Amino acid sequence: MDLSLSELERYKTQMLISGWNVEGQKKLKAASVAVAGVGGLGCPASIYLTTVGVGRVLLIDNEKFELNNLNRQILGWQEDVGKFKVEVAREKLKALNPEIRVEAIVAEITRDNVHDVIGDVDVVVDGQDNWRTRFIVNEYCVTSNIPFIHAGVSSLHGQMTTIVPGEGPCLRCVFPKDPPEHREIPVLGATPALFASLQVMETVKLVTGIGRLLVGRMLFVNGEEMVFETVEVKRNTKCPVCSSPQINANTSN
């Protein structure tokens, strides 16, 4: 998959990164990344996936922009209130980088439709605001051998990890019991923006093969104290999602 002259110019500074070069950029152009949720995490993540040159960005969300979204969901502007998030985001991202393909799916991810909605992609970026859907996506990614980059935020705090099936723990290993759900989550817009940027870094590393991934590690950020901490997380040999012989066989290929 060759790069056009305009792509060579657009991406030239990032191609200077050690280990990236033209071949890494070609890998990004050939890649397909799903953003599962176009909110505080998904909006900035999709912007940076677009500007970095991921060839296909798939946006999945079933909600419309509300006024109280606009402090953090930066693809939604005043005139977009009442419009579907994915449709607004698709048009703005296409204008930002016409070299890539942006697709929008208006849907809530469920156990019944997750296979059809996400489909065959190279990476899934977690943009969800609830654990129920996160665990559905986690299970789909594990069984389909798709890397899943989790992040969750609240207030000035957050955590993230990269799940590569067969190489480290899945989300259910880390959270064997469902964390409590909250109807309204307090959040400063800069918090999901920070984690979305880190999610895109992990996506780029996965696709290009550079750097060390956050596999088997959980990054915690306390923005109030400005403390960044990484802790080791281990695979649960009895995990109901990733420990079955069939899953292990599928991910060892």
- Alpha-carbon distance of 127 to 76, in angstroms, equals 15
Per-residue pLDDT of the chain (253 residues; tens, 9 = 90+): 799 999 999 999 999 999 999 999 999 999 999 999 999 999 999 999 999 999 999 999 999 999 999 999 999 999 999 999 999 999 999 999 999 999 999 999 999 999 999 999 999 999 999 999 999 999 999 999 999 999 999 999 999 999 999 999 999 999 999 999 988 899 999 999 999 999 999 999 999 999 999 999 999 999 999 999 999 999 999 999 998 755 544 444 3
DSSP per residue, 64-121 = B--GGGTTT-TT--GGGTTSBHHHHHHHHHHHH-TTSEEEEEE----TTTHHHHH-S-
Could you tell me where the DSSP H helices lie in the chain? 5-10, 21-30, 42-52, 85-96, 114-118, 131-144, 171-174, 190-208, 245-251
Q: Can you read off the two tokens belonging to residue 242?
A: 């990733």
Q: CB-based contacts of 9: which residues, under 8 Å, 6+ apart?
A: none
| Angle, helices 21-30/190-208, rounded to nearest 10 degrees | 110
Residue 253 confidence (pLDDT): 37
- Alpha-carbon distance of 98 to 95, in angstroms, equals 6
Phi then psi for residue 50, to 5 deg, are: -70, -45
Residue 183 confidence (pLDDT): 84
Which pTM was predicted?
0.95
Burial of residue 118 (CB within 10 Å: 0-12, 13-18, 19+) is buried
Q: Does domain 5-251 have CATH number 3.40.50.720?
A: yes
Q: Can you read off the two tokens belonging to residue 187?
A: 């959040």
Helix (H, G, I), strand (E, B) or coil at 192: helix
- Estimate to the nearest angstrom the gap between the alpha carbon of 238 and the chain centroid: 26
